């Protein structure tokens, strides 16, 4: 079974908001064996919506639509769907009662425009929305199901989880699909592809390998399609085991996770504490750690010491070190790391100093030069990187490289019994 997702709204097409609905819906469909063939975004324009629906009906078995169900004039989805399905609208009593109760609870006057929220397509089954005023609708048209939902993400998710997915699980034509993700670090996409070329070549036709690169990180996703999901799991796991053995230290996890999540779990289990001292990354490393639930169990704090004066005052970097070697140097980041470790009283500390760009470089220290240090319980490791000219990419690559170094040191300093 193949599906198409249509998101409606000018705000998506002008970049005012990001379409997160499609990604979430696609994940849910994929998990129950429904393949998303296409995702389309269209403007709040009846002609565009009609074209999108017509094209979708020709290439998909299931069409899901989100957006444009509000009460204002710019929300044209219901009226356009009425034309497409050649049916009128009816006012659903149960939806009207729900909308009225919402206005009564908030002690607000209810206008006719608000009552129109209870208008649904004559041909539809109401998908009740306890989280908002706009109901979803299920329409069978030319023997194909159309699922119409509001664009507000939490309302759409509620309707999908409570009303739609249970019905979709009973549809015929679903094909079991299994995804197995491998997280790698410290190796570029092309080198990675060359390293595992023979394993990839040996994959059977029903298993596909995809490379999903980000700065400093590459995810490998094995997608298997077949008749029995349990057999697919066993089959992909055999190839994952081969990848793990081949990649060695570059293999991080065979789950769809992040490097910072792995670090959090690892340090939390061992009651280890972390601090950061950042210059060119401007707090990006601390943000990646603290964005995770439970990060307070390992993260004591961080310092963004952009100026030389702050490196001395906050971290205890020696003036002589800065005068002789400069802020972007192995010697400076080493003292930044040990200073953060001492001042925050942590087991580990990360320090980064570099020239993010686009200006500020010299022939001796060009844009993209970054020094990173990680102080651990037993030693301090340092590493020099030369990235590119793009400031945002340099910051992301530096942050990932620093976390990767921390992960390596954690593993190095941890013995087989799990103690440091």
Residues 197 and 145 both lie in one domain = no
Cα-Cα-Cα-Cα dihedral of 283, 289, 294, 296, to 10°? -40
Residues 127 and 191 both lie in one domain = no
Residue 119 has pLDDT above 60, yes or no: yes
Proportion of the chain above pLDDT 90, given as a percent:
89
Q: For 111-132, what is the mean pLDDT? A: 93
CA distance 105 to 98: 11
Q: Predicted confidence band at 417 (pLDDT cuts at 50, 70, 90)?
A: very low
> At which of 149, 168, 187 does a domain end?
168
Q: Predicted confidence band at 110 (pLDDT cuts at 50, 70, 90)?
A: confident
Residues 266 and 361 both lie in one domain = yes
Residues 266 and 395 both lie in one domain = yes
Residues 352/335, Cβ–Cβ less than 8 Å: no
Average pLDDT, rounded, for the chain: 94
In a domain, 18, yes or no: yes
In a domain, 277, yes or no: yes
Burial class for 9, CB neighbours closer than 10 Å (0-12, 13-18, 19+): buried
Proportion of the chain above pLDDT 70, given as a percent:
99
CA–CA distances in Å: residue 226 to residues 193, 207, 209: 25, 9, 15
Residues 145 and 184 both lie in one domain = no
Residues 145 and 190 both lie in one domain = no
Question: What CATH code is carried by the domain that includes residue 348?
Answer: 3.90.950.20
What six digits make up the tokens of 300?
């004591």
What six digits make up the tokens of 196?
């595992």
What six digits make up the tokens of 278?
């950042």
Residue 246 has pLDDT above 80, yes or no: yes
Residues 51 and 150 both lie in one domain = yes
Residue 334 has pLDDT above 90, yes or no: yes
Residues 2/61, Cβ–Cβ less than 8 Å: yes
Domain count for the chain: 3
Write the pLDDT tens digit of every residue in 282-328. 999 999 999 999 999 999 999 999 999 999 999 999 999 999 999 99
Domain containing residue 103: 2-168
Residues 229 and 310 both lie in one domain = no
In a domain, 418, yes or no: no
56-82 b/e (C-beta count within 10 Å ≥ 16 → b) = bbeebbbbbbbbbbbbeeebbbbebbb
Residue 419 has pLDDT above 50, yes or no: no
* Amino acid 173: pLDDT: 84
Residues 338/381, Cβ–Cβ less than 8 Å: no
* Amino acid 415: pLDDT: 61
CA distance 296 to 133: 38
Residues 290 and 366 both lie in one domain = yes
In a domain, 349, yes or no: yes
What six digits make up the tokens of 343?
């001042």
Residues 163 and 200 both lie in one domain = no
**What single-letter DSSP state applies at residue 124?**
P
Question: What CATH code is carried by the domain that includes residue 188?
Answer: 3.30.70.2860
3-state secondary structure of 371: strand
Strand runs labelled E in 215-368: 217-225, 251-253, 274-278, 299-304, 348-354
CA distance 81 to 384: 59
In a domain, 238, yes or no: yes
In a domain, 417, yes or no: no
Residue 71 has pLDDT above 90, yes or no: no
> At which of 253, 275, 290 does a domain end?
253
Residues 286 and 356 both lie in one domain = yes
Nearby residues of 361 by Cβ (< 8 Å), 6 or more positions away: 355, 367, 368, 369
Residues 212 and 238 both lie in one domain = yes
> At which of 151, 168, 185 does a domain end?
168
In a domain, 420, yes or no: no
In a domain, 419, yes or no: no
Question: What CATH code is carried by the domain that includes residue 146?
Answer: 3.40.980.10
CA distance 298 to 264: 7
């Amino acid at each position: 079974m193949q599906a198409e997702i249509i998101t409606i709204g000018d705000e998506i097409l002008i970049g005012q908001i990001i379409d997160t609905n499609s990604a979430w819906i696609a994940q849910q469909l994929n998990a129950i064996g429904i393949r998303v063939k296409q995702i389309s975004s269209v403007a709040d324009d009846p002609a565009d919506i009609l074209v999108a629906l017509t094209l979708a009906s020709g290439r998909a078995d299931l069409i899901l639509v989100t957006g444009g169900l509000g009460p204002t004039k710019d929300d044209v989805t219901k009226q356009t769907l009425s034309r497409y399905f050649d049916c009128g609208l009816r006012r659903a009593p149960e939806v009207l009662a729900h909308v009225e109760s919402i206005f009564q609870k908030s002690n607000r006057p209810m206008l006719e425009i608000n009552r129109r929220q209870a208008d649904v397509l004559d041909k539809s089954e109401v998908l009740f929305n306890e989280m908002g005023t706009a109901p979803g609708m299920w329409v069978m048209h030319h023997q194909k199901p159309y699922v119409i939902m509001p664009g507000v993400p939490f309302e759409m998710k509620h309707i999908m989880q409570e009303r739609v997915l249970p019905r979709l699980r009973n549809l015929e034509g679903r094909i079991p699909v299994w995804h197995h993700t491998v997280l790698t670090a410290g190796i570029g996409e092309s080198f990675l592809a060359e390293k595992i070329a023979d394993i990839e070549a040996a994959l059977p036709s029903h298993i596909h390998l995809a490379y999903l690169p980000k700065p400093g990180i590459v995810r490998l996703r094995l997608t298997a399609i077949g008749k029995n999901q349990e057999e697919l799991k066993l089959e992909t796991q055999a190839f994952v085991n081969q990848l793990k053995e081949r990649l060695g230290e570059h293999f991080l996890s065979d789950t769809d996770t992040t490097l910072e999540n792995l670090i959090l779990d690892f340090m939390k289990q061992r009651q280890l504490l972390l601090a950061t001292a950042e210059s060119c990354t401007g707090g990006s490393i601390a943000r990646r750690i603290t964005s995770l639930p439970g990060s307070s169990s390992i993260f004591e704090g961080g310092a963004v010491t952009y100026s030389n004066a702050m490196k001395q005052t906050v971290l205890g970097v020696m003036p002589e070190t800065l005068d002789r070697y400069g802020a972007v140097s192995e010697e400076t980041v080493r003292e930044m790391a040990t200073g953060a470790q001492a001042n925050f009283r942590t087991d580990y500390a990360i320090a980064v100093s570099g020239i993010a760009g686009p200006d500020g470089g010299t022939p001796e220290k060009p844009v993209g030069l970054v020094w990173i240090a990680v102080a651990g319980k037993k030693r301090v490791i340092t590493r020099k990187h030369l990235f590119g000219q793009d400031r945002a990419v340099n910051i992301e690559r530096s942050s990932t490289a620093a976390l990767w170094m921390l992960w390596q040191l954690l593993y190095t300093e941890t013995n087989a019994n799990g103690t440091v």
